[in-house]
């Protein structure tokens, strides 16, 4: 999938436009490069390869939050139906969250001591949620769900 990638922090603009400045690191528009293969997705979600099963985000939307009970929707993400490794040589470095193609949050993960997973607490309960993860060996992978 085509996207614009920030050369400073790796953020991927998934709305088809290069932003005036990066919403993650503040880099200028000139830091972005368009790539035809910026994001990977499974070719057939009903018959995924082992590589796709390890890299496609698995998303669970929980409409009732245990931490913030009033008006909060939890989104739990783990990377992979087959859990992605978290090793020095092969790891998930970040998980980015978007609502309706607009960036809202980033989880930064260090290998070995963290699992390839993250959670966000949303104030919204509708829209299209996109999750993009970055694997140091296999690039960016995305999954989308409706809230």
What is the token pair recorded at 100? Answer: 């309706």
Q: Are the C-beta atoms of 7 and 35 separated by less than 8 Å?
A: no
Output the pLDDT for position 32: 98
Query: What confidence tier does 125 reach under pLDDT thresholds 50, 70, 90?
Result: confident
Look up the pTM and report it: 0.95
What is the token pair recorded at 67? Answer: 């931490």
Instruction: Report pLDDT digits (tens) over 38-64.
Output: 999 999 999 999 999 999 999 999 988
Mean residue pLDDT across the chain: 96
For each of the domains in the chain, give its residue range(s) and CATH number, in order of start: 1-38 (2.20.28.10), 43-146 (2.60.40.730)
Output the pLDDT for position 42: 96
Instruction: Report pLDDT digits (tens) over 106-115.
Output: 999 999 999 9
């Amino acid at each position: 999938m085509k996207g614009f990638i920030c050369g400073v922090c790796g953020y991927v603009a998934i709305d088809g436009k290069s932003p005036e400045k990066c919403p993650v690191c503040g880099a200028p528009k000139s830091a972005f490069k368009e790539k035809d293969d910026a994001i990977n997705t499974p070719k057939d979600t009903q018959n995924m390869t082992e590589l796709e099963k390890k890299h496609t985000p698995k998303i669970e939307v929980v409409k009732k939050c245990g931490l913030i009970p009033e008006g909060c929707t939890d989104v739990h993400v783990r990377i992979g139906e087959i859990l992605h490794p978290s090793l020095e040589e092969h790891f998930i470095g970040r998980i980015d969250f978007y609502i309706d193609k607009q960036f809202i949050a980033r989880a930064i993960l260090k290998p070995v001591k963290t699992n390839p997973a993250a959670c966000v607490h949303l104030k919204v309960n509708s829209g299209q949620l996109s999750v993009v993860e970055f694997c140091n060996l296999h690039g960016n992978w995305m999954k989308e769900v409706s809230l």
